[in-house]
Amino acid sequence: MATRIENRIRSGQFVITAEIVPPLSAAGTRLLEEAAQLGDGVDAINVTDAAAGRTAMSSFAAAAILAAKGYEPVLQVTCRDRNRIALAGDLLGAAAQGIGNLLILHGDDPSGGDQPEAKGVFDLDSRQVMLLARTMRDEGKLPSGREIEEPPHFFIGGADVPRDPGPDFSAKGLIGKADAGANFVQTQFCFDLGVARRYIERLRDEGLIERLGVIIGVGPIRSAKSARWMNENLFGVHVPDDVIRRLEDADKPAAEGRKICAELIEGLRDIPGVAGAHIMAPGGGTAAIAETLALLPVRDAR
């Protein structure tokens, strides 16, 4: 059965997704509290898979908890921690618990996490995991040829970095993900609507807008200092000078950051070919996302 965001994207409706980092906890209480803050303001909730290589509740378990309570999860799956046997088994288990949306990622280097001695697995790369999920869905079998008794339904996602399509721009990587089975992408942060517009137009020229739902990443920035840190430390992220000046001049920078984020979401809605917005707030957390959602027009009520 098609997922909610699959139906909305395929029918041309703008989607809003948001990200929750599962807690370092053996209870689902805080996870559900954070999901409740987002409520009907989002179409789906991403759960990260040991983001930054730091141990947390399993994204598979967190997604299952959310699905059981009626939320639509986007299960983040990294290549870092599992071989192909475990990945296939976990994907079947996820589908059996009502999880249909996948965001398949390479995974952050464990050497930068809380257990730097951990060894990354990386048995398959992200495109190979997409192909695995597609084969399980479309052919009802594993790559080995073993037939699956009841095949899963997956809406398969990948990641990309939205950037100004200069002379060296290449969509080769994204084309490879689409060929491997990706149905949508969620991107890294983009704080410049001009860049988003030119990026989408280039993807259209490459024939990718017809193949992929492109969900642009945004987020409420807490301060000018945070914006500068993002520019210096996050690959592919550029916070424009005018945004930094707004944060510097604001009496309440965090509130101004939420306002800027809401404006970006509204601006993305008006760019043909943008399937939606994905809100991330690693510093401000779920409360900052919920406060940003509250600034959006009533039409965004889910």
Where on the phi/psi map is residue 232: left (φ > 0), alpha (ψ -120 to 50), or beta?
alpha
Q: What is the pLDDT, as a whole number, of residue 257? A: 97
CA distance 256 to 247: 6
Question: Got the DSSP string for the chain?
Answer: ---HHHHHHHTT--EEEEEE---SSSSSHHHHHHHHHHGGG-SEEEE-SSGGG---S-HHHHHHHHHHTT--EEEEEESSS--HHHHHHHHHHHHHTT--EEEEE----GGGSS-TTPPP--SS-HHHHHHHHHHHHHTSB-TTSPBPSS----EEEEEE------TT---HHHHHHHHHT--EEEEEE---HHHHHHHHHHHHHTT-TTT-EEEEEE-----HHHHHHHHHHSTT----HHHHHHHHH-SSHHHHHHHHHHHHHHHHHTSTTEEEEEE--TTTHHHHHHHHHTTS-GGG--
pTM across the whole model? 0.96
Q: What is the pLDDT, as a whole number, of residue 299? A: 61
Comparing CA positions, the residue from 201, 194, 219, 231 lying closest to residue 293 is: 219
Q: What is the pLDDT, as a whole number, of residue 110? A: 87
The domain segmentation of the chain, as residue ranges, is: 4-216
Q: What is the pLDDT, as a whole number, of residue 1? A: 85
Tens of pLDDT along the chain (302 residues)? 899 999 999 999 999 999 999 999 999 999 999 999 999 999 999 999 999 999 999 999 999 999 999 999 999 999 999 999 999 999 999 999 999 999 999 998 889 889 999 999 999 999 999 999 999 999 999 999 999 999 999 999 999 999 999 888 999 999 999 999 999 999 999 999 999 999 999 999 999 999 999 999 999 999 999 999 999 999 999 999 999 999 999 999 999 999 999 999 999 999 999 999 999 997 668 999 999 999 998 764 45
In CATH, the number for domain 4-216 is: 3.20.20.220
